[in-house]
Structure 1
Amino acid sequence: MSRPFEQLVRDISASAYLIHKYVVGLNEYGFEHSQQVQDAVTFRLTVIGEAAGDIIDRCRSDLDHASSVAATADYDMPMTLKLFRRMRDKLIHSHWTIDHTILWNTAQEDVPKLNRELMRSLQHQL
């Protein structure tokens, strides 16, 4: 069942917020030694990746929308969404190969940047 675009964006935004909440006050060492936080961040990254994949699929069928979203971003939004989708696939299908440093860096840098850019792109749409 297809979900509304706005709900997909809310999924990303809510997951970005929760990831921040999980890691705030931790350093990389603390993250690496907390299985519970790693599991929570991993789950939220899979939610982001799933929503990103759905947005990509939706944009494929609406090229005008995809172009307008990409045009307002400072970086390649479609490529960033694809990377989050690929990360989701790896987290689900090859979880034993996950590098905790990559998870940490994604939680600290990539997730907040994606959320900011997605929100900014949506504001330009309104």
Structure 2
Amino acid sequence: MSDIISWGERLQAHLAGIDRDAFFANPLVQDAVSKCVEAIGEAAGKLDDINPELDRTVPDLNLKLARRIRDRLSHGYYRIDLVLL
């Protein structure tokens, strides 16, 4: 869980002061955001492996969704939809 929080804080810092237009115009920020989301998804997947019931008991975590997003970013990088990211 601490990895999810840490990468989430990094993600928040990368996006501080960045509006939608600035995000779409800046590949460096896009890459940083993508990496943070990927790391969050990896940590979420590991957490889900350790405690599969957690996703059901705390549905706001969306561990399985975070893992799927990570898989998509890791294995389909050429098709990243920046609007969804």
Settle same-fold status: TM greater than 0.5.
Answer: yes
Equivalent residue for 1:99, pick from 48, 69, 81:
81
1:47 is aligned to 39
CA distance in 2, matches of 1:24, 1:36: 14
Trace 1:115-126 onto structure 2 (pairs within 5 A): none
TM-score of the superposed pair, with normalisation by structure 1: 0.62
Q: What are the ranges of 5 or more consecutive residues in structure 2 without an aligned counterpart?
A: none
Q: TM-score, normalising length from structure 2? A: 0.89
Runs in 1 of length 4+ with deviation above 4 angstroms?
Answer: none
Partner residue in 1 for 2:28: 36
List gaps (5 residues or longer) in structure 1: 1-8, 104-126
Choose between structure 1 and 2: higher helix proportion.
1
Q: How does 1:51-90 map onto structure 2 within 5 Å?
A: 51-60=43-52, 63=53, 66=54, 70=57, 73=58, 76-77=59-60, 80-90=62-72
Count of matched residue positions in the alignment of Structure 1 and Structure 2: 85
> How far did residue 27 of structure 1 move?
0.8
The RMSD of aligned alpha carbons is: 1.7
Amino acid at match of 2:73: L
Percent identical residues: 33
Structure with bigger gyration radius = 1
